[in-house]
A and B are shown apart, each in its own frame.
Chain A
Amino acid sequence: MSIVDKNMPILIVDDYKTMLRIIRNLLKQLGFNNVDEATDGSAALQKMRDRSYGLVISDWNMEPMSGLQLLQEVRADAQLQTVPFIMVTAESKSENVVAAKQAGVTNYIVKPFNAATLKTKLTTAIGEF
């Protein structure tokens, strides 16, 4: 029996259309079809204030607002601060992971990643599905 509501809205944020499509398709394979997209942090923040999301999956390196800035804004917002937030990024230096953790990231996926990794991190972030 599924614990997680697979109809919950998920927001994916990346400035590369390719990556948005990859994540969207992989989420679809996992049964998550209610997916919105944003191409940078500020657009994502606006969407989060307009709609309640059960999960955010965001790239880091975007302009004008990066994924880390988005995360910091989310964690500083009383209405949004509990939303699970997974960073999916090619930034793999230790200081990046530390900074993301300090900002309150729920999980961290390094690009390139595979479907199995995404599923594992989703389970960790939102529970079994």
Chain B
Amino acid sequence: MTAASQRADLDARLAALSRSQASLDPKDLVEVIESIMTTMEGDVTSVNVRFLAEIEALARYIHETKSEIASLRPDEITDTHLPTATDELEAVVGATEKATESIFEAVEKIEELTEGMDEELSAKVVEAVTQVYEACSFQDITGQRITKVVNALKHIETKVEALLEAFGSELKQDRGQTPDTAAGPVDQRPDGELMNGPQLPEDAKSQDDIDALLASLD
């Protein structure tokens, strides 16, 4: 639409308005509109308008991204998921170490018994015992591998904490609007909530605790 046709269109609308609103002086209205148009042309160019629109779109995008990140509950990653994973892995190392010690106790006794055996039998038993010793090195190797994973998790934890720090309070506000997923994926089985896997040593009940609990329920 050209400026001339815009003007004609405006005149027609003003005339129609004048007919319906007799008390309104079209000249006054034209003055107001022209004043507004002059102000806009002077202060806000079309480039500025596009620029502002881009900024507005960018702000919207940032806000949506923040909401999406908040819905992922990064605070849970540092507060729950990573510490839990680390504890579980350290429990694996502790359990394998304990099991390996038990194996050693048993095998060392067997090796002591070879002193009373005839030479041929003793040699065979010692050979088997040696193989057990060699196999027990798995504990050292797996322990080192798990330690590497634990260190990687701690590194991730640091990065996520930096992310939380960068987003600051805004993320905390959004956090309240998103569901708590700290427990991880929901087990859909009827007794899913009762299946949590082995307890960490410090949380686990002993057989004596279980017996006492059962007895208390009689």
Contact = CB atoms under 8 A, between A and B. Distances in A.
Nearest to A14: B140
B144 A90 contact: yes
A16 B101 CA distance: 11
Interface string A95-113: 0000000000000000111
B74 interface: no
Interface string A19-50: 10110011001000000000000000000000
B136 interface: yes
Given A17-B97, A29-B126, A22 B141 contact: no
Given A18-B100, A21-B104, A29 B130 contact: yes
A22 B136 CA distance: 7
B100 to A, nearest CB: 5
Contact of A112 (B100, B130, B138): B138
Interface residues of B, number: 18
B134 A16 contact: no
B89 to A, nearest CB: 16
Nearest to B138: A112
Given A25-B133, A115-B133, A18 B140 contact: yes
Contacts of B97: 16-18
A16 to B, nearest CB: 5
Size class of the contact patch on chain A: 10 to 19
A69 interface: no
A14 B136 CA distance: 15
A62 to B, nearest CB: 11
A112 B137 contact: yes
A14 B97 CA distance: 14
Given A25-B108, A112-B138, A61 B130 contact: no
B133 A26 contact: yes
A25 B101 CA distance: 13
A14 B144 CA distance: 12
A112 B141 contact: yes
20 contacts: A14-B140, A18-B97, A18-B104, A18-B137, A18-B139, A18-B143, A19-B137, A21-B101, A21-B136, A22-B137, A22-B140, A61-B144, A90-B140, A90-B141, A111-B137, A112-B138, A112-B140, A112-B141, A114-B130, A115-B134
Interface of B: 97, 100-101, 104, 108, 111, 126, 130, 133-134, 136-141, 143-144
Interface of A: 14, 16-19, 21-22, 25-26, 29, 61, 90, 111-115
